Amino acid sequence: LQERVQDVRYFIIDEKSIVGRRMLRFIDMRLREAFSENKNKPFGRRSVILFGGFCQLAPVLNVPMHFPLSLSVTNARSSSNVIAVYRQFKEVYKLDIIQWQSENDQQGFRDILLRLQDGKSMLNDWNILISRFKKNLNRAEHDRFQDAVFIHTTWAKVYKVNIKMLRRL
């Protein structure tokens, strides 16, 4: 690892909302390990650039890195160390154009997301979102997801889906 990254000065992390305290701690530890001459400095004294917004997907089975310390579910010492590492991020640049939903047919969905983010969602927003639940999709829409990537929180669920997919072959 050290040889592969020895000349790297900037590490870019996209989708910062899914980076929880545990993952941030592991990133910090690995960079300190990779750049052992700076093992006592956050991120091994390398620059880490985060992209994305916190109002998107939350970390799975972890506390978001920006949450107050009192909301932590990890042990207090490691959590406070991660908060100190998180506070190393000093600058914020806001990108105003949402590229991943820039098509006109996505305007309604963008509006729903913005209202959710601001805590101003409406009953109609909820009705639109629940229409997309798997159990509410028609057969054609359901079939479009047959080859989609699945993300599960337990190995048992991963195993079950993998067996199901293998049987389809």
Q: What integer pLDDT is reported at residue 85 of this predicted model?
A: 87
Contact 52, 14 (CB under 8 A): yes
User: What phi and psi, each to the nearest 5 degrees, are found at residue 24?
Assistant: -60, -40
Residue that the structure tokens 């400095």 belong to: 41
Contact 48, 24 (CB under 8 A): no
Q: What integer pLDDT is reported at residue 35 of this predicted model?
A: 95
Contact 48, 85 (CB under 8 A): no
How do beta strands 47-50 and 10-13 pair? parallel
Q: What integer pLDDT is reported at residue 120 of this predicted model?
A: 93
Cα angle: 117, vertex 56, 141; to 5 degrees: 100
- Across the chain, which has 169 residues, the per-10-residue mean pLDDT values are 88 90 92 94 93 80 79 54 84 70 73 86 94 90 84 89 89
Q: What integer pLDDT is reported at residue 42 of this predicted model?
A: 93
Alpha carbons 157 and 22: distance in angstroms, whole number: 23
Alpha carbons 19 and 59: distance in angstroms, whole number: 6
DSSP secondary structure letters along 46-110: -EEEE-S-TTSPPPTTS-BTTS-GGG--S-HHHHHHHHHHHTT----------GGG-SGGGHHHH
- Domain edges within the chain: 2-86, 99-168
Q: What integer pLDDT is reported at residue 128 of this predicted model?
A: 92
